[in-house]
Structure 1
Amino acid sequence: MQIRDERDEDAVAISRITAAAFAEAPHSSGTEARIVEALRAAGALTISLVAVSDDGHIIGHVAFSPVQINGASGRWHGLGPVSVAPDMQRQGIGGALIRAGLARLAALNADGCVLLGDPAYYRRFGFVSDPALTYGGEASLYFQRLVLKGKAPEGDVSYHSAFDVV
């Protein structure tokens, strides 16, 4: 498997894999593929990586996009969606994509990353829940942050408007 930057010709495969990866997920909004498409159209994908199988097929994708904290832009980003083809899940592909993306964020001198997801899964990457950092005005064990440099922020996080896709 190889992890590389998304290319223009990857868009259809990314949408297909994202839709398939979230099709049976109980927490899915069903809009994850459209969110990635909207982020791409808005030029708001800070990092967009694909995992490519040895035979050249895209088998996974991860997106990172800027977030605002207390309405202010800064050097914080949101992770997600991350998706892996259903028949390739539970093989470490998603984790490899996340690690590669976080390394890229660090190389970009980002302050940190937030996400909404399962704490049992994301703690392996260093993410922690922090009641001082909220999403939608509420603290949640599922809303987590990873400080890459500096100190942990406080306040309410908002994602790019592409996440408002219905």
Structure 2
Amino acid sequence: MQIRDERPEDAAAISRVTAAAFATAPHSSGTEARIIEALRAAGVLTLSLVAVSEVGSIAGHVAFSPVRIDGVAGRWHGLGPVSVAPDMQRRGIGQALLCEGLIRLAEQGADGCVVLGDPAYYRRFGFLDDRRLTYGGKPSRYFQRMVLKGKAPKGDVSYHPAFDVA
């Protein structure tokens, strides 16, 4: 498996993999593929990485985009969506995409990353629940952060408006 930056010709495959990966997820909004498309169209994908299988097909994808903390843009990013084709899940592809993405964020000088997701899963990568960092004005154990450099921020996090697609 190879992990690389997405290319323009990957867009349709990324949408298909993302839609399939979230099709039966109980926490899915059903908008994950459209979120990636909207982030791409807005030009705000900090990182968009794909995992390419041995046969050359897109097996997984991860997106990172800037977030604001208390309305201020900085060097913090949101992780997600992350997806792996259903027939390729449980093979470490998502983990590889996340690890590579976090390494690249750090190399680009990012201060940190936030994610809204399962604490048991994201804790393995170093994400922590921090009640001083909120989403939607409320703390949540599902909203987690990883400091890449500097100090942990405090305040309310907002994602790019692309996340509000219906």
- For normalisation by structure 1, the TM-score amounts to 1.00
Equivalent in the alignment of 2:9: 9
Equivalent in the alignment of 2:125: 125
Aligned Cα root-mean-square deviation (Å)? 0.3
Counting matched residue pairs gives: 166
Deviations 1:6-26 (CA, angstroms, capped at 9, x unpaired) = 000000000000000000000
**Letter of the aligned partner of 1:139 in structure 2?**
P
Equivalent in the alignment of 2:158: 158
Distance of 2:88 and 2:121 partners within structure 1: 17
The residue matched to 2:156 in structure 1 has which SS? strand
Distance of 2:44 and 2:109 partners within structure 1: 17
Distance of 2:59 and 2:73 partners within structure 1: 32
Q: Which runs of 5+ in 1 are unaligned?
A: none
Q: What is the CA distance between 1:104 and its match in structure 2? A: 0.5
Q: Which runs of 5+ in 2 are unaligned?
A: none
Deviations 1:54-105 (CA, angstroms, capped at 9, x unpaired) = 1100000000000000000000000000000001111100000000000000
Q: What is the CA distance between 1:147 and its match in structure 2? A: 0.1
The residue matched to 2:131 in structure 1 has which SS? coil
Where in structure 1 do 4 or more consecutive aligned residues deviate above 3 Å?
none
Report matched runs for 1:44-123 at 5 Å.
44-123=44-123
Distance of 1:141 and 1:92 partners within structure 2: 24
Q: What is the CA distance between 1:35 and its match in structure 2? A: 0.0
